[in-house]
Amino acid sequence: MIPEFDATLPVTHAAGRAYSDEDDPLLTTFVTGIWDELYSRETTPVPPCPACKSGNTRVQNRPNRHHALPFFRCRACKRTYSRLTGTPLARLRFAVKMPAFIRLLSQPIPLEEASRRLRVDYTALSNWLMRFRELIAQHDPDDRWTSRVRLGVKYQPTGTCPHCGYSGQLRNGGFGPDTRRCALCPHCSRTWSIAPGVEGADITVRVVKDLALTAVARRTRAGQVAPALASAEHAILKIPARAAPASVTAPSVPAPHANRFDFSQPLRANSPLPRRHIEDRELTAFLADEIGKVFSQNIEPPACPHCEGVNTHLSSRPRTPTALPTFQCRACTRYFACDAYADGEHAPARHAVQLSAVAVATSTTRACRGGVEHLTGNREGVGQAIPAMADRARPVRTS
């Protein structure tokens, strides 16, 4: 009996990474077939007596409002029984929840999560798990299906810490920013990738707890009859292969339109000729919209501006009205904010009002000194902001 686990599925619940609800359809079908056979409401065929194994039996009563299942009577030993009598599922309550519980048998989730989903007591669920493990073992002589039961089975990696040299049992360290499974050293509390460079392979981990065996030990201490279940000391952790990162190509920037300037306007700021300042309202509206996107307070994770990866998540929410939300890319592990789209560097959110005024000056044909006088700002700051806006508008505006 060697259970198998997927390294991409979480061991504990964490923010942004919930438990999976995908079951093993083969195991679910196998166990459901056994359950339907035992919990059948049909009166035929009449099963043999579970006490004396006699086939001289008959139907005692059909399903009614008092009994959900038919009962049979043995003519040899005069005993009344049902199909559940003598099986691990005898006297098991809440039969209506069994189909949902059978789906959970193949899911690597703790019993606390199963208890929350089914709204059943934790102790009762551990008893159900023990009984179904016994039932599967009775119908599985070669351990084909028993190893697929992963509910309540906890594992931990073993190895050597690359930081302090500790060797032995390690702890689960969650997932790194690149979504790789990590191990945690109990000595120095540092984490690292559980299997660096072995994507697409299988590694051996140690089974540290099997809650079905815990239920067996609890019944044994209480002096009750408990089944002898098979235990596993090791398990297989499957490391899926990682997809190659997509290459980022340079954007195709169209050439600027030759007639975008009015050559009748003077070029120098100190020219005695009159100057007409005409604003390009279309460009101003475009820049204002882009500035709003850059300094947005929206916490929906955008694509990474460094590698264009879409596997991003929210890292921190804005704590002040002038702060911006921070995101992290799981592909390249970099942190970024929405304002990183502008020129790769961050700017305070309070600069949004100033940049809106710069947008108006950018769409007006005037010298940089004249724009500074118009904005009553810093010449160097305006000189840096205008080229950045031009780079942002260049892929869109062609005239």
Looking at residue 344, its pLDDT comes to 43
pLDDT tens across 297-328, in order?
788 888 888 877 888 888 888 877 767 888 88
pLDDT tens across 41-56, in order?
998 899 999 999 999 9
Looking at residue 254, its pLDDT comes to 72
pLDDT tens across 65-118, in order?
888 899 999 999 999 999 999 999 998 889 899 999 999 999 999 999 999 999
pTM, to two decimals: 0.65
Looking at residue 17, its pLDDT comes to 73
Confidence of residue 355 (pLDDT cuts 50, 70, 90): low
Which H/E stretch holds residue 116?
A: helix 111-118
Q: Please give the C-alpha separations between residue 18 and each of 9, 118, 287, 312, in angstroms, as whole numbers.
A: 9, 17, 39, 16
> What percent of the chain clears pLDDT 70, i.e. is strictly above it?
76
Q: How confident is the prediction for the chain on average, in pLDDT?
A: 80
Confidence of residue 396 (pLDDT cuts 50, 70, 90): very low
**Sign of dihedral through CA atoms 375, 281, 351, 305?**
negative
Q: Is 208 helix (H, G, I), strand (E, B) or coil?
A: strand
Contacts 24+ apart (CB under 8 A), 196-200: 198/239, 199/239, 199/240, 199/241, 199/242, 200/239, 200/240, 200/241
Given a contact cutoff of 8 angstroms between Cβ atoms, the answer to whether 142 and 166 are in contact is: no
Range among 166-180, 280-294, 336-350, 380-394 rated most confident: 166-180
The residue type found at 221 is R
Q: Please give the C-alpha separations between residue 321 and each of 98, 231, 281, in angstroms, as whole numbers.
A: 51, 56, 29
